[in-house]
């Protein structure tokens, strides 16, 4: 079975995670895909396939004869889809022999415009998979799941030389909780890759340092008819707070290594308001500066508005895995070789986000990230390229062979 066929099957299983659940997995629907994958791993004949109480699926493939001394290699992907856009009732559509033009989706008037996404020019003549416009597709990261499953089938069918392979599929990556209960020692891999990126051949070993920040504002609410000199509208104070942050340090105006403040949610009323930010920067020093700027903004607001209270709660989420991978650059170099052998141009680039691998690297499992052939994640214009997914499987097979030596 080809990887895209598995993708079509997996995206129909609803697995959207939730940031407000306070449990692992954050949504019970993630168990459905977990159990399906365990059944498939059993059918493929992997060793000890199962799912633990935290919905983490694991299985192992023993080293082939003569490769027992090779380092154990881990391959990971995540099962959940982002709560940013609906992943329920996904209807995948296969667009064969793409002509390079706009892709009209049948629902809600949505169009994937070639002018907006220059990468589409390189997909002429290829096969593209989208959803129908009413949901995201779920290639993030069910494409990675499908590619790892297809790789396992191929390794066994073709008797590819390999060291011990350690397979894992995690829940709740999209809400930053994928590795919360991951047993690195029990997993048994010396090195690993997450398969959770974009274009085939992309290799990522640098990611944002990341934090969440909650700003709670307590204003002064009185009757508006007698409010002069007394009222402090928390919603207006929230606007003042945001204006104290650098106006160009937002996602829409940054790229590459540039960090940002992202105001993800603002809610409240005149008496009380809450702002939720995510804070990102590749540079550890600049990351620290950004967090300090939030505290200074709060102090400035309270100085200007003595009857207002502003509380800033910052929680670090993950750090740049580059620091942990400096001594393991063979992981990047071998990925480049594997991509080239698969006929794909390797591209080493920083992630403007994070992966399970970022946290796993700090937990003792060096773990860069590889592309899946998926694009436009977290929205209705998400798509995957069938031929790129095939190339990713080829790349993974080459990696397995490289580490068998």
- Residues with catalytic roles: 80, 173
Give the dihedral of Cα atoms 214, 323, 73, 346; nearest 10 deg: 100
Angle between helices 234-243 and 284-304 (to 10 degrees): 140
Distance CA 375, CA 372 (A): 9
**Count of CB atoms within 10 A of residue 111's CB?**
12
Distance CA 30, CA 48 (A): 20
Which two structure tokens, joined as six digits, stand for 331?
Answer: 């992981």
Which two structure tokens, joined as six digits, stand for 87?
Answer: 């992943």
What percent helix, strand, coil does the chain show, rounded to 5? Answer: 35, 25, 40
Distance CA 72, CA 89 (A): 38
Distance CA 190, CA 201 (A): 23
* Cα angle, residue 112 at apex, residues 110 and 115 outer, rounded to 5°: 130
Which two structure tokens, joined as six digits, stand for 395?
Answer: 């790349």
Closest to 377 in 3D by CA, of 143, 211, 28, 194: 143
Q: Which residue has the tokens 């992966």?
A: 355
In contact, 279 and 294? CB cutoff 8 Å: yes
User: Exposure of 362 by Cβ count < 10 A (0-12 exposed, 13-18 middle, 19+ buried)?
Assistant: middle
Closest to 400 in 3D by CA, of 348, 338, 329, 328: 338
User: In sequence order, which residues have a C-beta less than 8 Å from that of residue 382 and are 6 or more positions away?
Assistant: 130, 131, 136, 137, 138, 139, 140, 374, 375, 376
Closest to 266 in 3D by CA, of 241, 244, 248: 241
């Amino acid at each position: 079975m080809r990887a895209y066929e598995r993708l079509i099957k997996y995206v129909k299983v609803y697995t959207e995670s939730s940031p407000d659940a306070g449990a692992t997995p954050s949504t019970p629907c993630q168990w459905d895909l977990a159990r399906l994958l365990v059944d498939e791993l059993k059918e493929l004949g992997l060793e000890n396939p199962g799912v633990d109480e935290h919905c983490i699926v694991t299985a192992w493939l023993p080293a082939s004869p003569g490769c027992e001394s090779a380092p154990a290699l881990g391959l990971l992907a995540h099962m959940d889809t982002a709560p940013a856009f609906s992943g329920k009732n996904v209807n995948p559509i296969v667009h064969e022999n793409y002509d390079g033009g706009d892709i009209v989706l049948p629902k809600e008037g949505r169009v994937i415009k070639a002018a907006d996404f220059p990468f589409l020019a390189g997909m002429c003549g290829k096969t593209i998979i989208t959803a129908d416009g009413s949901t995201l597709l779920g290639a993030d990261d069910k494409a990675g799941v499908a590619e790892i499953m297809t790789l396992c089938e191929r390794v066994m069918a073709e008797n590819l030389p390999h060291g011990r392979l350690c397979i894992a599929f995690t829940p709740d990556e999209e809400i930053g909780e994928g590795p919360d209960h991951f047993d690195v020692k029990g997993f048994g891999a010396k090195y690993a890759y997450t398969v959770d990126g974009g274009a085939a051949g992309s290799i990522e070993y640098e990611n944002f340092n990341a934090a969440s920040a909650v700003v709670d504002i307590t204003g002064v609410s009185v009757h508006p008819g007698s409010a002069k000199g007394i009222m402090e509208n928390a919603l207006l104070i929230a606007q003042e707070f945001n204006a104290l942050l650098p106006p160009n340090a937002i996602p829409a105006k940054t790229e590459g290594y540039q960090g940002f403040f992202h105001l993800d949610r603002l809610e409240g009323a005149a008496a009380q308001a809450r702002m939720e930010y995510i804070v990102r920067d590749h540079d550890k020093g600049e990351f620290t500066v950004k967090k300090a700027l939030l505290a200074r903004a709060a102090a400035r607001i309270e100085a200007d508005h003595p009857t207002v209270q502003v509380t800033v709660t910052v929680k670090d989420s993950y750090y740049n895995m580059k620091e942990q991978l400096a001594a393991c650059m063979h992981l990047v170099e071998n990925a480049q070789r594997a991509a080239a052998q698969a006929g794909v141009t390797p591209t080493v680039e920083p992630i403007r986000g994070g992966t399970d691998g970022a946290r796993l690297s700090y937990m003792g499992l060096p773990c860069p990230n590889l592309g899946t052939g998926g694009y436009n994640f977290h929205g209705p214009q998400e798509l995957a390229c069938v031929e790129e997914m095939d190339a990713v499987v080829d790349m993974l097979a080459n990696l397995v062979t490289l580490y068998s030596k």
